[in-house]
Structure 1
Amino acid sequence: MALMEISIVPLGTTKTSLSLYVAGVIKVVQESGLDFELSDMGTIVQGEADELLKLAARMHDSVFQHDVKRVYTVIKLDDRRDKET
C-alpha cells in the first residue's frame, strides 16, 4: 500500500479564490473510492502506487476544465513494500 501527497496549483487565474478548482479536484478523488485526507497544503490519498499515479493525472487534468492554461502539480509518493500495512 502506498501514500500519495499531492498539491495542485492553477497558474494565471484572474481570482485569488481557488475553491472552484479545489472542489473539482476533490470530486475526482471522491469518485476514485480511495481513502483520502485533506490538509491545508494538499491531499493525502492511500492506495496502490499505480492507481495513485493514474488518479494524480486525473486530478491534474480536472483543473484544465476551468479554462486554466497552466497547472503546477507536486506529488510525493511513499511506496513501502517491506511489510503489510
Structure 2
Amino acid sequence: MIIIAIVEVTVIPLGTGGTSLSSFVAGCVRVLQQANDIKYQLTPMGTIIEGELTEIIKLVSQMHEQPFMAGASRVNTIIRIDDRRDKKGTMKGKVSSVEAKLITPGGTD
C-alpha cells in the first residue's frame, strides 16, 4: 500500500561559523529537486513535502546530511507528518479547504 503524506521538515544547521543559513537550505532543496514523484513547497520557516511516505523519509534523511557535507558541526531536524488515510490529502487541498471556509463560514470538510 502506498501511503501519500504531507510532511513538514525544518533542517537547522548549527556550528556553521556564521548566521546565514540560506546556502545550507539550498543544499537541502537540491535533494528535493532531484527527487521523483514528490511535490514540495519552500516556506520561510521550513519545507512542506507531499508524496509517498517512505520516499519522503529517505529524502528527509538526505536533507539532514546536507549541512554536514557543507561544513556544519551539528544539525537539528524537525519533522511533522500528516498521514490521512480516510481520503487523499494534498497541500493544495488543505489550503483550499481553509480558503473555502473564509468565503463560506461554517463549511464542512
In percent, how many aligned pairs have the same letter? 45
1:67 — aligned with what? 71
Q: CA deviation at 1:2?
A: 0.4
**Which residue of 3, 6, 10 maps to 2:9?**
6
From the two aligned structures, give the one with the greater strand fraction: 1
SS in 2 for 1:38: strand
Runs of 4+ displaced beyond 6 Å: none
State the alpha-carbon separation in 2 of the partners of residues 50 and 17 from structure 1.
Answer: 31
1:51 Cα deviation (Å)? 0.8
1:1-85 → structure 2 map (5 Å cutoff): 1-33=4-36, 34-85=38-89
> RMSD of the alignment, in Å?
1.0
Letter in 2 for 1:23: A
TM-score by length of structure 1 reads 0.93
Q: Mark the structure with the bigger radius of gyration.
A: 2
What is the TM-score normalised by the length of structure 2?
0.74
User: How far apart are 1:35 and its partner, in Å?
Assistant: 0.7
Q: Structure 2: which 5+ runs fail to align?
A: 90-109
